[in-house]
Amino acid sequence: MSDRIKTYSEFYKFYLTEHRNRTSRTLHFVGTFLVFIIIAIAIYFGWGWKWFLVPVVGYGFAWVGHAFFEKNKPATFRYPLWSLISDFKLFFEILFGKRSLDSTKD
């Protein structure tokens, strides 16, 4: 029997449990914000080959959060698409006040 999560709704609940630490959430938020900045600059200046910065910055900040603050393995390795979608979902939920950087206030 597989222990894989079958629906995105289930996954997002799991995702939030893996992102409880305030510093980790802050790093995810900053990394995602910088991804948007890099994309905007890349589009404006036509950086071409420098698009590689997008995943390096986005995942770099997130993985530091997991390694040093959450002390868990990023869900990206098992659920890459749902994890990416959830990074953006959490970013916008924090940005618009639906969730807090402090997970105890969710």
- Predicted pLDDT of residue 1: 41
Mean pLDDT by 10 residues, the chain (106 residues): 85 96 97 95 84 93 97 94 97 96 83
- The pLDDT value recorded for residue 45 is 87
The widest CA-to-CA distance across the chain, in whole angstroms, is 50
pLDDT value of position 9: 97
Q: Spell out a b/e string for 45-57, using b for 16 or more CB atoms within 10 Å of the CB, else e.
A: eeeeeeeebeeeb
Closest CA to 54 of 37, 74, 77, 78: 37
Distance CA 92, CA 99 (A): 9
Give the length of the chain.
106
pTM of the model: 0.90
